[in-house]
Amino acid sequence: MGINKVTILGAGLMGNGLAQVFAKDPDTKVFIRSRKLRPNPASGVRSNLDILIENSALSEAEAGNILSRISFTDDLEEALKDADFVVESVVEEMEIKQDLLRDIEPLVREDTILATNTSVMSITQVAQKTQKKDRVVGTHFWNPPYLIPLVEVIKGEETSLEVLDLTYDYLKKIGKKPVKCLKDVQGFIANRLQHAIWREALYLVEAGIADAATVDESLKYGPGLRWPHLGILENVDMVGTDLSLNIQRGVLPYLADNKEPSPLLEKLVAEGKIGFKTGEGYQKWTPEEADARNRALREYLIRVTKDLK
């Protein structure tokens, strides 16, 4: 099946980013549907495109082409008519996602793929109220989706392998780096990895072994530098599985293995220290510093993804 019309449901932060991702492909027409159309619906996509133009990662003409392939609508039937691929990117609430997929099923073709951009919820559960559960697949994009190449393509219990493959192949074709997550597990792949490191990072601070800035420096200027180039499992082979086994035997008994959130994290939240938004979390942030970090991250991602193979 060729995918030429993509419909995005939900025009929030991720929905707008996704529209741009799909519309980058010259063969794809994108419909983005919001419940209420704002006066200037293209402004979200336009400002993302502008950041790329400012950093010489996109020409004005390319930005124009991308925008010309996106239609903004509040009409669900129009958005879904003849859609080959639908991605729901509405709020992270199980019942809302379940009801939405159930309600749109009569409005799409039998072979239309229904993807959910849930961050953490079970794909099997999101599909629960649909008739044809084999066509529901998880596509977990990372924010900002037009800069982070990874998309986790998740197989729900009833997702067909054909739908999994079609989704994977299409995402690859439009320039993303899809990976298949073959079981519908909590956190899929990348968040499981991220949270395993977070647990240890938070423990190191809590136990007084290092402060937050030092923990971050230890990753940024150490192993983190390798990761975009050398996968951590490639690294096992590089140093030798024998050495890795000995290291695991020596260190695993001492690593954090808490099943509950970090007590210090709980305390910070209870005190209203929620990070950039309030000026303090693990560290203190002025509004200028917070803005500068956000901007620097985007500019860094633009630079490093330009040369990504």
Ligand X SMILES: NC(=O)c1ccc[n+]([C@@H]2O[C@H](COP(=O)([O-])OP(=O)(O)OC[C@H]3O[C@@H](n4cnc5c(N)ncnc54)[C@H](O)[C@@H]3O)[C@@H](O)[C@H]2O)c1
Catalytically active residues are: 119, 140, 152, 191
Which has the closest alpha carbon to 112: 139, 142, 132? 132
Contacts of 146 by beta carbon, 8 Å cutoff, 6+ apart: 17, 20, 21, 24, 48, 52
Among 7, 89, 112, 122, binds ligand X (CB under 6 A): 89
Choices 5-13, 180-188, 210-218, 278-286; region in contact with ligand X by CB under 6 A = 5-13
| Rounded least distance, CB 143 to ligand X, Å | 3
Among 118, 130, 139, 159, binds ligand X (CB under 6 A): 118
Beta carbons of 86 and 80 less than 8 angstroms apart: yes
Token reading at 156:
């729900």
| Rounded least distance, CB 251 to ligand X, Å | 32
| Residue whose CB is less far from ligand X, 49 or 138 | 138
Beta carbons of 87 and 116 less than 8 angstroms apart: yes
Choices 8-16, 147-155, 257-265, 268-276; region in contact with ligand X by CB under 6 A = 8-16
Choices 88-96, 146-154, 233-241, 244-252; region in contact with ligand X by CB under 6 A = 88-96
| CA–CA dist 83, 66 (Å, integer) | 18
Choices 39-47, 90-98, 153-161, 225-233; region in contact with ligand X by CB under 6 A = 90-98
| Residue whose CB is less far from ligand X, 14 or 205 | 14
C-alpha distances in angstroms, 188 versus 116, 162, 163, 268?
Answer: 13, 20, 18, 27
Choices 55-63, 114-122, 178-186, 217-225; region in contact with ligand X by CB under 6 A = 114-122
Among 37, 94, 96, 238, binds ligand X (CB under 6 A): 96
Contacts of 148 by beta carbon, 8 Å cutoff, 6+ apart: 141, 142, 301, 305
Neighbouring-strand partners of residue 30: 6, 70
| Residue whose CB is less far from ligand X, 93 or 271 | 93
Token reading at 276:
């950039």
| CA–CA dist 120, 241 (Å, integer) | 32
| Residue whose CB is less far from ligand X, 70 or 205 | 70
Among 3, 100, 136, 166, binds ligand X (CB under 6 A): 100
| Rounded least distance, CB 12 to ligand X, Å | 2
| CA–CA dist 289, 33 (Å, integer) | 35
Among 34, 98, 139, 159, binds ligand X (CB under 6 A): 34
| Residue whose CB is less far from ligand X, 12 or 263 | 12
Among 85, 141, 146, 282, binds ligand X (CB under 6 A): 141
| CA–CA dist 195, 147 (Å, integer) | 21
| Residue 112 sits in the site that holds ligand X (CB under 6 A) | no
Task: Compute the half-sphere exposure of residue 3: CA atoms within 13 Å on the CB side of its CA.
Answer: 25
| Residue whose CB is less far from ligand X, 138 or 282 | 138
Q: What is the total count of residues that contact ligand X (CB under 6 A)?
A: 19
Beta carbons of 73 and 60 less than 8 angstroms apart: no
Q: Which residues bind ligand X (CB under 6 A)?
A: 10-15, 34-35, 89-92, 96, 100, 117-119, 141, 143
